[in-house]
Amino acid sequence: MENTKHTKYTRLMLLILAVILLVASIVGYIVSQRMNTNQRGESTTQITITPSVVPTLIPYPVQGSLALKEKTGQSIKLGSSFTIDIFATSSKDTVAGYDVVLSYDTSAIDNQSVQNMASSFRIFTYKRTNHLSISATKNLSITEPIQFLETPILSLTFIAKKKGTYVFSLKPVGNETSKLVNEAAAVTYPETKDIRLEIN
Amino acid sequence: MRKLFLLIFCTLAIGFVIASIPKYAFALETCGEHECDGWTESADHTTCYKGGGCPSWVCEKVTDCKWDGKENSCEGNNCPTSFTGDECFLCKGDGGGGGGGGGGGGATCPAGKVTNGKCEAGLRPITVANCCKDKDGGTCTPACTAEQICNAEKKCVPNSECTGFVKASVAPSTVRPFDQVTVKCDYGKRLDCLSVTGAGLANCRYSRYEGTDNIFVCDAGQNAGFYDDAKCTTSTGTAGKCCAGANKAGDMTILGTDVHYDQDIVLPFETVIFTARVQTVISKNKGVRIELICNADTCANNIKKNATIFSLPFPSTNDFVTKTQSTQLTGTGDDRHYIVRISADKGSEAYFDSVSMKDTKGRELIRNGDFTSVNNTSVTTTQPAEWGEGDNKVGYYYGSLAANEPALNPTSGPNPTSGPSPTGGAAPTTVNLALKIKLQGVTKKPAKSEPINMQVKLGGGGLSASTAYQTAQFTVDDSGVWSGKASFSSISPGGGYRIYIKGPKHIAKKICDEGPSEGKGGEYHCGDGKIALKAGDNGFDFSKIIQLAGDLPEAGGKQNGIIDAYDTTFVRTNLGSTDAANGAIGDLNFDGVIDTQDYSMILQSLSIKFDEE
């Protein structure tokens, strides 16, 4: 009788011990997880990514936009031609001239033509090694002020020569920048966005 | 159901165990020497009390505090104020030790009265100020320092045998990498156990003994930064004169040779992926780099303060390039401080578009901030004061960073009139050019006929690269021909040279022939140089070709080498203007008015558009 009682008591104590160890392990694990979380919270900083802005030698005002749009919106067949239109917004400012610097992989894509969509302007096109440079000046005969509001200004036709994914960018190349110039000859730099095209 | 039962059971079990802990965990401590100051110490030296006394068992139990035969609660180890105003508390001992075995803030038991590491019952430990060893031979705190010894009374006292530190200095306090630095360590006497350590100093050698100074000469390290850990370090030396120790020598700053922008950031201990998008226009000397610098005493992989964790070089390119670097950052505690350094060495210029650092989950760790453009500054450009380190900003729109030549030290910089080293041929000498040129739209002496500054440079021939542009003043004659002189040193006489000329409102013209001509204005172009230069004077008549106008000066009077929409619009906008300031920019034919002739000229020049190179 005494032995049985003693055995039961021993078992109970062992069970309690086991439970304590289990609970201690669980509590320890939870605590360590919380500490880890806190440490991570301290060491990282929640950051908002600021969009990349076009650099220049002199701080400049960013105003308006130049947007690239591929007409079909579909992938392009190797050897076929495709068109990219450029739309301009001048944010209520006048425009008396503009420059477009369009970079792309000239080994994979060949520019066929540049069509002036804004007839009030005269354009000058230059094919450079890795980009197209287009400069536009408002015709002398046009005297009324012109503003751009999602205005199509250029339509560019290309031929796809190589398969792959290619980026078209209006970002600066050397000293050449995409920009708008108003009637007072003040320069503003529009926001731009790259587009990516796939040639199959 | 069974799980619920188990949960309840476990909870009860834990409660039982916790409730039992005090009985077995609390051991009575003997009161410290001054622990009962203002109170009365109990006979068993375990409690301090006021009033009629408070048996220790009352405080030992967290409940059932009995006082004057009445029940009271007892929180922790302190009995609250009793009904009669009596109080007590349980002694904690001197710093929790109380025994002769160690610790205890210098407290020790009387000699021979230590049992199981504690003072025998009823004995109070004795506090020995500045104890270095207890009477049973074990150590206790404070331990003696390197310049102390333990005396017969077991106290740490200054070692009279050690040579005492007096003062030290570092000079100069601001240096360039690898510059010579003098460190003076004054210990009142000449020592043979002395060295200089820290601050990235290298190759330190004992120079001499002057007065009471031990003088060392060292080489500054290569890593730019502020250093506060230069030390005079002594080791255990000859005849007991020296005791191991170190004394601060002074602060020093190592300047970079480049223009750089520093941003302090804090990074986590994990793998970070660093990405930068940069276009380097000119790369000279160490070129353009983005680096991660350690800004803590020790950083990842045991890298010390101011040392470079990694460096991403950006050689000159025609377009922006993106580079990525993955780095595992390790460390503990406060070793998370770094500097992102954006550098352009002298003569280099670059555009910085974006810098990014992400953790393995793709979270951005740094943020672009704003440092705009930095030009030719010889000092570190640091973050705006209002940016905290934790902001982790690095630059908003990076703009450009340019470190223009001549170098930071003008006395040792290149001769501004000399070009790159000749590659061979005759011995380099000075050549003088006397040039005649014609400007677009100027067919006779114009109304505005003041001398103008033209830029002239040489290329080809014996030069490995073109010289820098030199400014030469040109005057105009009645036929509209402009004449001017330029001089170049270190030029090897010989053939194959090209001459570049750029006017104040013009695009650069490359001329390869000694007597060039053209049919239609502006159509002359050339490839390889054919001009022969001799030592001394050289005269060339380039008046049968014209310098095309159109690259107008912009902000700061600078030209950008391109005829662009700004240039055409400026002329168009100011048509009819006779304003002198406008004319200085847009009057291309110098007739005193900006008119349609100027506009026609600039449109004609658009056939070329770019500086010829």
Q: How far is CA B406 from the centre of its chain?
A: 23
User: Given an 8 Å threshold on Cβ–Cβ distance, is A45 in contact with B365?
Assistant: yes
Q: Which of A44, A59, A187 sits opposite B365 (nearest CB)?
A: A44
Whole-angstrom distance, CA of residue A172 vs CA of residue A62: 14
- Rounded mean pLDDT of B547-576? 89
Residues A123 and A180 both lie in one domain? yes
Whether the ipTM is more than 0.90: the answer is no
**Cβ neighbours of residue B474 under 8 Å, at least 6 residues apart?**
B435, B437, B451, B452, B453, B454, B482, B483, B484
Query: Which of B51-65, B147-161, B327-341: highest mean pLDDT?
Result: B327-341
Condensed to tens digits (0 to 9), the pLDDT of residues B72-95 reads 444 444 444 443 345 566 666 654
Whole-angstrom distance, CA of residue B610 vs CA of residue B563: 6
Confidence band (pLDDT; 50, 70, 90) for B161? low
DSSP-H helix ranges across B216-344: none
Q: How many CB pairs under 8 A join A and B?
A: 150
Residues A27 and A92 both lie in one domain? no
Q: Which of A118-127, B46-55, B190-199 has the lowest mean pLDDT?
A: B46-55
Tokens (6 digits) for A191: 């926001």
Residues A172 and A73 both lie in one domain? yes
Residues A146 and A191 both lie in one domain? yes
Whole-angstrom distance, CA of residue B322 vs CA of residue A52: 13
- Rounded mean pLDDT of B323-345? 76
Residues A80 and A38 both lie in one domain? no
Domain B259-402 CATH class label: mainly beta
Smallest CA–CA distance, residue A183 to chain B, in Å, is 6
Q: For B553-587, b where at least 16 C-beta lie within 10 A, e where not — what string?
A: bbeeeebbbbbbbbbbbbbbbbeebeeeebbebbb
DSSP-H helix ranges across A71-125: none
Confidence band (pLDDT; 50, 70, 90) for B374? very low
Q: Is B458 exposed, middle or buried (0-12, 13-18, 19+ CB in 10 A)?
A: buried
Q: Which of B50-64, B145-159, B164-178, B459-473 has the lowest mean pLDDT?
A: B50-64
Question: What's the number of domains chain A is made of?
Answer: 2
Identity of the residue numbered B458 = L
**Mean confidence (pLDDT) of chain A:** 80
Whole-angstrom distance, CA of residue B217 vs CA of residue B181: 6
User: Given an 8 Å threshold on Cβ–Cβ distance, is A55 in contact with B596?
Assistant: no
Q: How many CA atoms lie within 13 A of B483 on its CB side?
A: 8
Q: Where are the domains of chain B?
A: 2-90, 167-254, 259-402, 429-547, 555-605
Residues A112 and A168 both lie in one domain? yes
Residues A27 and A78 both lie in one domain? no
CATH number listed for the domain at residues B429-547:
2.60.40.1110
Residues A28 and A80 both lie in one domain? no
Q: Which residue does chain A place closest to B560, by CA atoms?
A: A175
Condensed to tens digits (0 to 9), the pLDDT of residues B522-556 reads 888 888 888 999 988 999 999 999 999 999 998 76
User: Given an 8 Å threshold on Cβ–Cβ distance, is A23 in contact with B268?
Assistant: no
Q: Are A92 and A180 a contacting pair, CB within 8 Å?
A: no
Condensed to tens digits (0 to 9), the pLDDT of residues A165-187 reads 899 999 888 888 899 999 999 88
Tokens (6 digits) for B492: 């090897």
- According to CATH, the topology of domain B167-254 is Immunoglobulin-like (2.60.40)
Q: Is residue A52 part of a domain?
A: no
Identity of the residue numbered A49 = I
Q: Assign residue A172 the CATH number of its domain.
A: 2.60.40.680
Residues A74 and A152 both lie in one domain? yes
**Mean confidence (pLDDT) of chain B:** 71
Please write down the HEC assignment for all residues of B536-570: EEEEEEEEEEEECECCCCCHHHCCCCECCHHHHHH
Residues A101 and A171 both lie in one domain? yes
Task: Identify the three-state secondary structure at position B513.
Answer: coil
- Inform me whether the C-beta atom of residue B389 falls under 8 Å from chain A C-beta atoms: no
Q: Which CATH architecture has domain B555-605?
A: Orthogonal Bundle (1.10)
User: What share of chain B has pLDDT > 90, as a percent?
Assistant: 19
Q: Which residue does chain B place closest to A188, by CA atoms?
A: B566
Nearest CA-CA partner of A104 in A35, A17, A166: A166
Within a 10 A sphere around the Cβ of B322, how many other Cβ atoms? 11
Condensed to tens digits (0 to 9), the pLDDT of residues B456-482 reads 999 988 887 888 888 899 999 999 999
**Rounded to whole angstroms, what are the CA distances from A64 to A54, A56, A173, B158?**
13, 17, 20, 75
Residues A68 and A38 both lie in one domain? no
Residues A27 and A76 both lie in one domain? no
Smallest CA–CA distance, residue A76 to chain B, in Å, is 26
What residue numbers bound the domain in which A133 lies? Answer: 62-199
